């Protein structure tokens, strides 16, 4: 059993199916940590409707303080446009957390699963997108939205790109490529149409590329990438791009892999990181005990990998590997929730994941 330092992990269950899949994720985490000796402490907080009902805000100051004291946290699904917009999160607590905690890199690995009837059965790509700027209106201005309507039939949208954000994102992306043993980092851009902002973005990579002699940069226009990726998917293992482009590309990849139901993600910064499944709250099945927790479990593994990269604590890496092995064991072993075409409940699926965690080989 590994000797591990103590990690403080926050937990925000969210809305809809969030509490169910969060509980399942914590059960799987406990089983994996029991084998690796990962030393961690959970602190629970509220976000979304329950936070609004009990604390008056979608994300209270007390919860923010708890998150700031954490090494990282697990976020269950939250709504994207259904919350009231009269508090400091402007109705988007997930986006607010990314901005407030400077979670500037969104890491989305996309792997095809046969059970999802993928269009590309061997798809395996990771898209890293800058997470705090770009065309997203809730993230690109300090005091308001970056969209304007000067007249009823004229709309303007402002994209903010800064050198500081590009520099930290470029460093993160190249460090990630190095940690994953990748020899090529593809940079998807549209410098031909937006030379100033895209020039800042590309320039951030080019000025530090010499510090990573084993990694080649491949600059590729976003339209060229989008058209060639389905046909030449094996050529692209790791892609870095700006916020909106990355959102679209990662969803395209998920669609080719069978959908977002099993898609995981990590929102990472210099000091904090947030595990967050890509899928939504699925209110139509909330409380029925049939939700699939696989994506959130996998996302939690990404959080632990990030902690390993920051601290070198081997128990983090081992626990992450066990979580992934457990999910793979459950799915490949035939335990499928309704979204995978089966009839397993959340509990039955989680039990299968835990069984896989307990029997997987440890590196």
pLDDT at 202: 97
Q: Collect all residues with Cβ–Cβ distance below 8 Å to 29 and sequence separation of at least 6.
A: 40, 297, 300, 319, 323
Q: Which runs of consecutive H residues, i.e. helices, occur in the chain?
A: 18-36, 49-55, 61-68, 93-100, 163-179, 195-206, 222-228, 243-257, 294-311, 314-332, 346-359
Give the 3-state secondary structure percentages of the chain, helix then strand then coil, rounded to 5: 45, 20, 40
Does CATH place domain 105-260 in 1.10.1740.10? no
Would you state the structure tokens that stand for residue 283, as one six-digit string?
């209110």
pLDDT at 1: 45
Please, are residues 296 and 76 in contact by the beta-carbon 8 Å criterion? yes
pLDDT at 87: 87
Q: Collect all residues with Cβ–Cβ distance below 8 Å to 351 and sequence separation of at least 6.
A: none
Please, are residues 211 and 245 in contact by the beta-carbon 8 Å criterion? no
Would you state the structure tokens that stand for residue 334, as one six-digit string?
């035939």
Would you state the structure tokens that stand for residue 69, as one six-digit string?
């004291």
**Mean pLDDT, the chain cut into blocks of 10 residues (363 residues total):** 76 97 98 97 97 96 97 95 87 89 95 88 95 77 75 89 95 94 96 93 97 96 93 95 93 89 92 95 95 96 95 95 96 92 96 97 84
CATH class, range 1-101+271-363: alpha beta
CA nearest neighbour of 43 among 14, 11, 65: 11
pLDDT at 3: 54
Please, are residues 304 and 323 in contact by the beta-carbon 8 Å criterion? yes
- In sign, the C-alpha dihedral spanning 75, 79, 80, 85 is negative
| Domain layout of the chain by residue ranges | 1-101+271-363, 105-260
Do domains 1-101+271-363 and 105-260 share one topology? The answer is yes
Decide: residue 5, CB within 10 A, 0-12 exposed, 13-18 middle, 19+ buried.
Answer: middle
Write out the H or E segment, with its range, that includes residue 72. strand 72-75
pLDDT at 91: 86
Would you state the structure tokens that stand for residue 231, as one six-digit string?
């046909």
């Amino acid at each position: 059993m590994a000797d591990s330092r103590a990690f403080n992990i926050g937990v925000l269950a969210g809305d809809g199916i969030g509490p169910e899949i969060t509980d399942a994720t914590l059960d799987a985490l406990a089983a994996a940590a029991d084998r690796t000796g990962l030393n961690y402490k959970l602190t629970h907080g509220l976000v979304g409707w329950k936070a609004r009902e009990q604390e008056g805000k979608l994300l209270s100051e007390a919860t923010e303080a708890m998150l700031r004291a954490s090494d990282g946290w697990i976020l269950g699904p939250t709504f994207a446009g259904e919350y009231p917009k009269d508090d400091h999160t402007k109705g988007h607590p997930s986006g607010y957390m990314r901005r407030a905690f400077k979670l500037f890199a969104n890491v989305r690995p996309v792997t095809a699963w046969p059970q999802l009837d993928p269009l590309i059965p061997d798809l395996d790509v990771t898209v890293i997108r800058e997470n705090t700027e770009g065309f997203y209106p809730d993230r690109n201005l300090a005091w308001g939205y970056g969209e304007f309507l000067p007249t009823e039939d004229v709309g303007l949208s402002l994209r903010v790109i800064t050198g500081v954000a590009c520099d930290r994102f470029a460093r993160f992306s190249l460090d990630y490529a190095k940690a994953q043993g990748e020899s090529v980092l593809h940079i998807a851009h549209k410098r031909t149409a937006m030379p100033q902002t895209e020039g800042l973005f590309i320039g951030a990579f080019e000025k530090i590329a010499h510090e990573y002699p084993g990694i080649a940069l491949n600059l590729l226009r976003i339209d060229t990438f989008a058209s060639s990726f389905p046909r030449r998917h094996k050529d692209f293992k790791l892609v870095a791009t700006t916020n909106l482009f990355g959102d679209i590309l990662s969803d395209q990849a998920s669609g080719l892999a069978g959908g977002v139901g099993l898609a995981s993600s990590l929102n990472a910064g210099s000091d904090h990181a947030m595990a967050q499944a890509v899928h939504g709250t699925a209110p139509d099945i909330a409380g029925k005990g049939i939700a699939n927790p696989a994506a959130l479990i996998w996302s939690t593994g990404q959080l632990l990998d990030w902690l390993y990269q920051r601290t070198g604590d081997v128990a983090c890496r081992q626990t992450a590997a066990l979580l992934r092995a457990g999910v793979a064991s459950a799915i490949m072993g035939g335990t499928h929730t309704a979204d995978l075409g089966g009839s397993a409940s959340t509990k039955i699926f989680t039990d299968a994941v835990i069984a896989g965690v307990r029997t997987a080989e440890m590196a």
